[in-house]
Amino acid sequence: MSTYISDIFDNPYSNHTVALVSTGRKIRAGVIDLDGKWLLEPRYRMITRWGGRYLEVEKENRKRDFWDSKTGRFISDSLGLNVNNLLVTSSGKTFFVFYNRGNIGLAAEDGTIVFPARYWSILPFGEDFVVRSREGCELIDIEGNFIVPNGYDDIVYGFRSECLWGGDYPAYNVSKIPVRKGEEWFYIDRNTGARISNRTYHGLGPFTETGYALFSDKRDRKGIIDCKENVQLTANKYDMLHWEGTDLLEGYGTMRGKRIHRLINPLGKSLIPKYWADIRDYQDSKAISVKGGKNAVFTRMQSGAFSKSFCTPNEYVPFICKDYIVIHHYFRKRTRLSGLYTLCNAAGESIFSRDYDRISISAHPDRFFVCEGKKWFLINGKEEVLCEILPPSID
């Protein structure tokens, strides 16, 4: 059976990317650098979280580990810990969650034990940590000092973990801490532990530094309050809201029986022109909307609103990838639906003179992976072939 590269993923954030190699039905993942060299040969069932220094790897025994692209070593080997998660605080510090005898603890990047393995869960909140154990739910600092001791049933409503750090979210005001007692959520003061107001919620996130927070009603619909707890967006439209920066939220809901996907500001105002208000995708200050057989690409302006950059007909489907728009042209070849890829800038101007079977974006502005048939090549912006990416055997 022939061995070939079945996919190379977009990775516009690191000097490497993940590739899948196939032999028959067997597929394994590895890591390639931007010179086309294999940093980690394709021997692994799955590789995820490849946007930064550490990549999460699932090995043949289905055990998870983290591979350090800087040192070229697995964390289990370099630190001697059974790591099962990675956490990032609001300042960008990385910590490893490790497992030992049924509990988890926290270690710094150099392997120093921050918290011994005595907790059931650990999640970051600012530079502190929400921890759960048999003692209950607590908020502690990195020294293990109590900020919010046991006594509340929950701390910081997650909104699908979006209010807890580890992603591209806004800076939060950690002086007002959301807590739950029974069925009620409310704020307490970080310094005194006193309750801030008599208002209660069915779910409550922290305030952003610009003074807005998400809350839930009893049907788990989401709304927005300001720093005085005045409702700016009632919880009757969106089933899910999540921050995409300090002044932008992505919202999913239902209106008149139809699903909606909107970009709004903290006052609930749509930032996409009314005709195109529902979007298909949002990334890196760009959005895509589909209406009337056309795809429109929007770019966010300094005013905060979005302006239409260009449109494509329905058979030319655009996808956002950081500074670029990759357009997938669908067409019918005999009885099969086929497609070719075109690379454009945010204004819709073609970067390459021709189409390819696949195009994958890297973090380098002059390095692109392209596929022709079952062959992958590394090319520059002038479409000069720098090398062919050859797959090693995975037998």
Three-state SS sequence of 216-269: ECCCCCEEEEECCCCEEEEEEEEEEEEECCCCCEEEEEEECCEEEEEEECCCCC
What Rg do the C-alpha atoms of the chain give, in angstroms? 24
What is the Cα–Cα distance from 306 to 210, expressed in whole angstroms? 21
Q: Minimum mean pLDDT among 2-6, 46-50, 130-134, 135-139: which range?
A: 46-50
Share of the chain above pLDDT 90, in %: 81
User: What helix, strand, coil percent values describe the chain, rounded to 5?
Assistant: 0, 55, 40
Residue 249, both tokens: 């939220």
User: What torsion do the CA atoms of 24, 25, 26, 28 make, to the nearest 10 degrees?
Assistant: 100
225 in Cβ contact with 203 (< 8 Å): no
Using the CB atoms, write b or e for 113-140: b if 16+ within 10 Å.
eebebebeebbbbbebbbbbeeeebbbb
20 in Cβ contact with 360 (< 8 Å): no
Residue 161, pLDDT > 50, answer no
Bridge partners of residue 11, in order along the sequence: none
Residue 166, pLDDT > 50, answer no
DSSP annotation string for 132-199: EETTEEEEE-TT--EEEEEEESEES--TTTTTSSSSS-PPEETTEEEEEETTEEEEEETTT--B--S-
- Identify the pLDDT of residue 394: 76
What is the Cα–Cα distance from 279 to 291, expressed in whole angstroms? 9
List pLDDT tens digits, range 231-259: 999 999 999 998 988 899 999 999 888 89
List pLDDT tens digits, range 34-63: 999 999 999 999 999 877 899 999 998 888
What is the Cα–Cα distance from 199 to 312, expressed in whole angstroms? 48
pLDDT bin (cut points 50, 70, 90) of residue 297 is very high
What is the Cα–Cα distance from 69 to 67, expressed in whole angstroms? 6
Residue with tokens 């797959």: 391
Number of H helices, E strands in the chain: 1, 38
Closest CA to 132 of 114, 113, 154: 154
Alpha helical stretches, state H, 42-103? 75-79
Distance of CA 249 to the CA centre of its chain: 14
Residue 159, pLDDT > 70, answer no
* Mean pLDDT to the nearest integer, 193-217: 94
pTM: 0.89
Three-state SS at 32: strand
pLDDT bin (cut points 50, 70, 90) of residue 364 is very high
Residue 6, both tokens: 């079945």
Per-chain mean pLDDT for the chain: 92
* Mean pLDDT to the nearest integer, 91-106: 94
pLDDT bin (cut points 50, 70, 90) of residue 165 is very low
370 in Cβ contact with 379 (< 8 Å): yes
What is the Cα–Cα distance from 255 to 287, expressed in whole angstroms? 20
Closest CA to 147 of 122, 174, 113: 174
